[in-house]
Amino acid sequence: MEYNILFFTHSGAMKFSRKAKSMDINIELMPVPRVLSSNCSISARIRYDKDIENLIDDEIEKIFISENSENRLIYEAE
């Protein structure tokens, strides 16, 4: 599965990147796609076939799953 992950802060994205790499998850940091948010921030694109709940932490604002060229919101921080 492919996910787009949005973060509250740049430092949160960097922490998540280190965490993902330590778990051998291929990650690409990039600007947030305009279709997902108007905020000028950083996001991550990952491929992950396990339970995404294992990756959620306080740094993550939203998670979208990419299916058939569409993004569906599957997690939003409270």
In the beta sheet, which residues pair with residue 73?
A: 64
Look up the pTM and report it.
Answer: 0.89
pLDDT of residue 17 exceeding 90, the answer is yes
Number of Cβ within a 10 Å radius of residue 61: 18
Do the beta carbons of residue 42 and residue 7 sit within 8 Å?
yes
- Residue 58, token pair as written in the block: 């306080």
Number of Cβ within a 10 Å radius of residue 50: 10
CA 33, 39, 41 angle in degrees (round to 5)? Answer: 70
pLDDT score recorded for residue 38: 57
Average the pLDDT over 4-28 and give the result.
95
Per-residue pLDDT band at 49 (split at 50, 70, 90)? very high
Mean pLDDT computed over every residue of the chain? 91
